[in-house]
Amino acid sequence: MSLITEHLVVLNLDSPDRHAATRVLAQALADEGRVTDLDGFLADVRKREEQMPTGLPGGIGIPHARSAYVTEPSLVFGRAPDGIDWGAEDGPATLIFLIAAPEGGGEDHLKILANLARRLMRTEFRNSLMNAPDATTVVDVVTREVVNP
């Protein structure tokens, strides 16, 4: 199954803070049957966040976790036009990637993180996600640049 689908894209994320925003993105995973216990999964994400804040310079948030409540490697994309504070010093995040990996699964999420880490440095990549008109375009961009580069 695909890492990201149209159902895993939230284009108008307007949550008051990053925990609420993460919950919205994780809910998309639960709705698709990719997460079996929403609160359990969110606790795992928060644990990782406590180790190291996942807000990055340039308006990016990459919450992620390996969790027993994840049934398959997944990537949820959220776009927050007004920005949500994600702990980065240079300002709020507008592009958020929630990476979910099953416990004891393969190395898929490492590849996603590795590819994301490289792509996020590029303004074109960020702009194409900023300006994507619909979920299908987002899935195309992410699949081309991050999942199967």
Partner 1 sequence: MIVTLTPNPSVDRTVSITDLQRGEVQRATASRIDPGGKGVNISRALTAHHARTLAVLPAGGPQGHLLAELLAEAGIEVAIVPIADSIRANLALVEPDGTTTKINEPGPLLSGSELAALLAGAVATLAQQPSWLVGSGSLPPGVDDDLYAGLVRRCRDAGVKVAIDASGPALRHAVAAGPDLIKPNLEELEELVDRSLDTLADVLAASVEVLSHHGVATVVVSLGRYGALLVTASLCAFAVAPVSSPLSTVGAGDALLAGYLYATGNGSTAVDALCTGVAWGAAAVSLPGSRMPTPADVAGIQVSVTSEPDLTLRLKN
Of 7, 19, 64, 109, the active-site residue reads 64
Nearer to partner 1, 113 or 141 (CB): 113
Contact predicate 11/81, CB 8 Å: no
Nearer to partner 1, 54 or 94 (CB): 54
Query: Least distance in Å: CB of 125 to partner 1?
Result: 12
Q: Give the chain's largest Cα–Cα span.
A: 37
CA dihedral angle for residue 23, residue 99, residue 125, residue 117, rounded to 10 degrees? 130
Radius of gyration of the chain (CA): 14
Query: Least distance in Å: CB of 120 to partner 1?
Result: 5
Query: Is residue 107 within the footprint of partner 1 (CB under 8 A)?
Result: yes
Selected from 3, 21, 35, 62, the binder of partner 1 by CB under 8 A is: 62
Query: Is residue 43 within the footprint of partner 1 (CB under 8 A)?
Result: no
Annotation marks residue 64 as catalytic: yes
Query: Least distance in Å: CB of 100 to partner 1?
Result: 13
Print the SS3 string covering 60-113: EECCEEEECCECCCEEEEEEEEEEECCCCCCCCEEEEEEEEEECCCCCHHHHHH
The DSSP secondary structure of 28-49, one letter per residue, reads HHHHTTSBS-HHHHHHHHHHHH
Enumerate residues 66-105 that contact partner 1 by CB under 8 A.
66, 88-89
Residue type, 81: P
Nearer to partner 1, 7 or 58 (CB): 58
Residues marked active site are found at: 64
Q: Which residues bind partner 1 (CB under 8 A)?
A: 48, 51-54, 56-57, 60, 62, 64, 66, 88-89, 107, 109-110, 113-114, 116-118, 120-121
